[in-house]
Amino acid sequence: MPLLKIDDLEIEVKNGTTVLEAALENGIDIPYYCYHPALEIVGSCRMCLVQVEGMPKLQVSCNTFVGEVPPERKVDGNFDMVVQTQNDLVIQERKNILEFLLLNHPLDCPVCDQAGECYLQDYSFKFGNAHSRFDEDKRVRPNEYLGSQIVINHNRCILCSRCTRFTREISGTSELFVDERGYSSKIAALEDRPLNNLLAGNVADICPVGALLSTDYVHKNRIWNLQKKSSVCQDCSVGCNIDAFYQKRKIFRLNPRENQDVNGYFMCDIGRYGFHRFEDLERVARPLFKSNGIFSEISWDTAIEKISNKFNGAEEKVAGVVSPFHTNETNFMLGRLIKGIIGTFPHIEDEEITYPSGFRISSDRSPNKRGMHDVCPSIVDDLASEINDKEIRVIYILDNEIDKEIDETWNKILTKMDFIVVQAYAMTRLAKSAHLILPGLAPFEREGTITNDQGRVQWLRSVLPNNGESRPDWEILNLLYKTGERFSDINELMKGMGEQFPSYSGMTFFKLGDQGLPLNGNLKT
């Protein structure tokens, strides 16, 4: 392995590693704009220039590859490359490049959405001049829509070309290009080919400055007002890793979080903007009991008692409906509770989309179908006919989706039931058909594990606080167990689940961490 010396640090690196990668991995900060690990190297911003011993010019570290050199060419007898990233020459060069980048920049940080997470702002703080030496008129251009969700502020753009490379290399749709030439260059899309692909939102994320903006977030908040929590997207079975940015009870923005085993660096717009559908819902905040067609609030104790009474002695006649939208823990608890039959609603497949880069949007737009089947192996194929055959009278349903329609078959089934319990977070059609509604958590409030379609178990973290008297879904089911069979907390539950289903054994939130673990991983002891 080549021996690289960066500043005072001596490190062995993989053959072919770039100086920039080696530096970043080892905590040395080299500023850059155009470089992005998922995109082709173009070396155009010139910000990452470093001094390489033996080379007359400063080199862009993003395109300087470290390789083993023959003994006679080693520097100081044993280094394959010696790099200076912090000396006066390099720092001066960064200042020069930054001066060029800021010549026409409007310096409108107070109204810029990127402020607080902007490379231009950060490096200006670090390397910038206090006063501009530019005495000329600035280049001023109006904002433009590049697609229905993306606006460009040309004045802030530094033409790093990350966005054009993204549409060429990752989405493969090539909507964005550089129009004009030289000083007049600008990012553009053709009028009849706007940036409307399902990965479009990523260009706003990878824009290192405040040029590309998502219309969904523009001028909504300041980043320093928002809190961030890592979680997992729940809009398809891929399970992209995300960071959710929220303030109090409201989510403002979802960003993809790197996970090379799942989503790389990106996420799709279905997931990115999906959180809005949980806003302004008519939430269920307390247990509701229907009498004479009207719901009225009851206490949790009364609700649990009513359900237990219905179950008692008729355990074989109770059906449970698990859901691919719920966590493994919740489905496991329902599957374990019900002695009659376990099933799930028929699921409609959507379009499967795979991009040239391999990024995938699954046809299964539920997050946890695989996990649901893993922890509820007795799910019947055709729930509707089994319910008829076995003369089921009581049904316990984990609510599925907020926009779920109830078809004719299910309408008939539900009207025949003596007692319907729906565990729901909103007044869905299904909830309205219930005799008793138990208030569970909405998707961004839940915590637990979900298993993606590749068999990776990931930690779904709660982002928002619980609403009213609603309780975690697994915990509600826990109340229906006999005292001795209950779990004391979710960690105990996961342990119990692992004992019953060995492919989940040994999994804890701590071990799943930010990146999740494959099923049957090395955890089995």
Partner 1 sequence: MNAFKPVLTEHIHQKDCHTLPFYKSVGGYKALEKVLAMQPDAVIQEVKESNLRGRGGAGFSTGVKWGFIPKDSDQPKYLINNADESEPGTFKDRLLMNKTPHQMLEGMIIASYAINCNTAFIYIRGEFYKEYQVLKETLAEAYQANLLGQGILGSDYNLEVVIHRGAGAYICGEETGLIESLEGKRGWPRIKPPFPAIEGYLHCPTVVNNVETLACLPHIINHGADWFKSIGSEKGPGPRLFCVSGTVNNPGVFEEPMGISLKELIFDRAGGIPENKQLKAVFPGGSSSAILTAEEALDVKMDFEDLVEKKSMLGSAGVIVMDETVDMVQACLNIARFYAHESCGQCTPCREGTAWLVKMLTRIVNGQGKPDDIDMLYEITDNIGGRIDFSKGSFGKTICPFGEAVAWPVRSFVEKFEDEFRSYISQVEAVA
* Residues in contact with partner 1 by the rule CB under 8 A: 41-47, 49, 56-58, 60, 63, 65, 93, 96-97, 99-101, 103-104, 133-137, 139, 158-159, 161, 177-178, 180-185
| Residue 17: its H or E element | strand 17-18
State the minimum distance, in angstroms, from the CB of residue 100 to partner 1.
4
CA distances from 445 to 84, 96, 163, 470, 514 (A): 48, 48, 33, 10, 18
State the minimum distance, in angstroms, from the CB of residue 32 to partner 1.
12
Strands across the sheet containing 456-460: 448-451, 456-460, 517-518
Q: String of b and e for 142-161 (b: at least 16 CB within 10 Å)? A: eeeebbebbbbbbbbbbbbb
The upper half-sphere exposure of residue 306, i.e. CA atoms within 13 Å in the direction of its Cβ, equals: 21
State the minimum distance, in angstroms, from the CB of residue 62 to partner 1.
9
Q: Closest Cα to residue 51, out of 17, 15, 19?
A: 19
Looking at 141-211, which runs of residues are DSSP E strands? Answer: 144-145, 150-152, 176-179, 186-189
State the minimum distance, in angstroms, from the CB of residue 195 to partner 1.
18
CB of 55 or CB of 485, closer to partner 1: 55
State the minimum distance, in angstroms, from the CB of residue 13 to partner 1.
18
CB of 90 or CB of 441, closer to partner 1: 90
State the minimum distance, in angstroms, from the CB of residue 115 to partner 1.
22
State the minimum distance, in angstroms, from the CB of residue 135 to partner 1.
7
CB of 63 or CB of 508, closer to partner 1: 63
Q: Which residues contact 452 (CB under 8 A, 6 or more apart)?
A: 237, 238, 239, 262, 367, 370, 458
CB of 45 or CB of 322, closer to partner 1: 45
SS3 content of the chain, % helix, strand, coil (to 5): 30, 20, 50
Given a contact cutoff of 8 angstroms between Cβ atoms, the answer to whether 161 and 133 are in contact is: no
State the minimum distance, in angstroms, from the CB of residue 104 to partner 1.
7
CB of 159 or CB of 288, closer to partner 1: 159
User: What secondary structure letter does DSSP report for 405?
Assistant: P
State the minimum distance, in angstroms, from the CB of residue 90 to partner 1.
12
CB of 63 or CB of 143, closer to partner 1: 63
User: What secondary structure letter does DSSP report for 13?
Assistant: -
Given a contact cutoff of 8 angstroms between Cβ atoms, the answer to whether 351 and 312 are in contact is: no
CB of 22 or CB of 436, closer to partner 1: 22
Q: Where are the alpha helices (DSSP H) in 6-132?
A: 19-25, 88-102, 119-127
Given a contact cutoff of 8 angstroms between Cβ atoms, the answer to whether 161 and 42 are in contact is: yes
* Sign of the CA dihedral with 412 first, then 415, 417, and 423 last: positive
* Sign of the CA dihedral with 499 first, then 502, 506, and 512 last: negative
State the minimum distance, in angstroms, from the CB of residue 126 to partner 1.
17
State the minimum distance, in angstroms, from the CB of residue 47 to partner 1.
8
Q: String of b and e for 442-463 (b: at least 16 CB within 10 Å)? A: bbbbbbbbbbbbeebbbbbbbb
Structure tokens at 110: 């107070």
Q: How far apart are CA 273 and CA 208, in angstroms?
A: 21
The upper half-sphere exposure of residue 123, i.e. CA atoms within 13 Å in the direction of its Cβ, equals: 24
Structure tokens at 115: 């402020």
CB of 65 or CB of 300, closer to partner 1: 65
CB of 187 or CB of 413, closer to partner 1: 187
